[in-house]
Chains A and B, each alone.
Chain A
Amino acid sequence: TQLLEQSPQFLSIQEGENLTVYCNSSSVFSSLQWYRQEPGEGPVLLVTVVTGGEVKKLKRLTFQFGDARKDSSLHITAAQPGDTGLYLCATGGTDSWGKLQFGAGTQVVVTP
């Protein structure tokens, strides 16, 4: 089982500030997915990164995949209250059908 470490556990910022959350593993990721989850709802897929060094942008969100495919980061520019949520990284094992291994998540709170 591949362990995913997310940091920080909790982040509280003011609207308009920037933030970065991290996802790390001691093993190489075959691919990595980022999700955002709001209270009482299911996680919503934000992006999938596959190639080492890959950078993907989704409006104000920038996702980076480390060159060695052992780490990833999510950067939010000019955060808004709508960005509040639990950010989860997840990876699927190479021989593990339908199973995603999740990190513990980073709880982000953006206050007006």
Chain B
Amino acid sequence: KAGVTQTPRYLIKTRGQQVTLSCSPISGHRSVSWYQQTPGQGLQFLFEYFSETQRNKGNFPGRFSGRQFSNSRSEMNVSTLELGDSALYLCASSLSGGARTEAFFGQGTRLTVV
């Protein structure tokens, strides 16, 4: 079956702009989580959605937001972009998002803010 699909793969934005990233989970997976990966901080959890509801949120400013649609596809939005937002953004899907549920990652979206 198809894996997790993230679009676009690459983005270049300027400071102050906003950006929307998309994630299509594996068919049947209802939990979608988002992560930010940078060389200095590693993989950091942004938030998780399940059945269109945000169940969990990491320690990121309100400029980072997300949503999930009825088909489990998810989007994340970053407003008022800062240079420090440059990172690889990864989404992961799983069946339920529980502690022992295996998560499968997309290839990521590389965001560069100039």
Contacts and interface: CB of A to CB of B under 8 A. Distances in A.
A93 B98 CA distance: 8
Overall SS of chain B's interface: strand
B97 A97 contact: yes
A66 interface: no
| Interface bracket on B | 20 to 34
A66 B34 CA distance: 29
B48 A98 contact: yes
B106 A31 contact: no
A36 B92 CA distance: 14
A97 B88 contact: no
Interface in B42-79: 42-43, 45, 48-50, 55-56, 58
A80 interface: no
A96 B99 contact: yes
B100 A30 contact: yes
B99 A31 contact: yes
Contact of A100 (B45, B49, B50, B107): B45
B4 interface: yes
Given A42-B107, A43-B105, A97-B50, A88 B43 contact: yes
A48 interface: yes
24 contacts: A30-B100, A33-B103, A40-B88, A42-B90, A42-B92, A42-B106, A44-B105, A45-B102, A45-B104, A45-B105, A50-B100, A88-B43, A91-B99, A92-B101, A93-B99, A96-B99, A97-B48, A98-B31, A98-B32, A98-B94, A99-B56, A100-B43, A100-B103, A103-B42
Interface of B: 4, 6, 31-33, 42-43, 45, 48-50, 55-56, 58, 88, 90, 92, 94, 97-108, 110
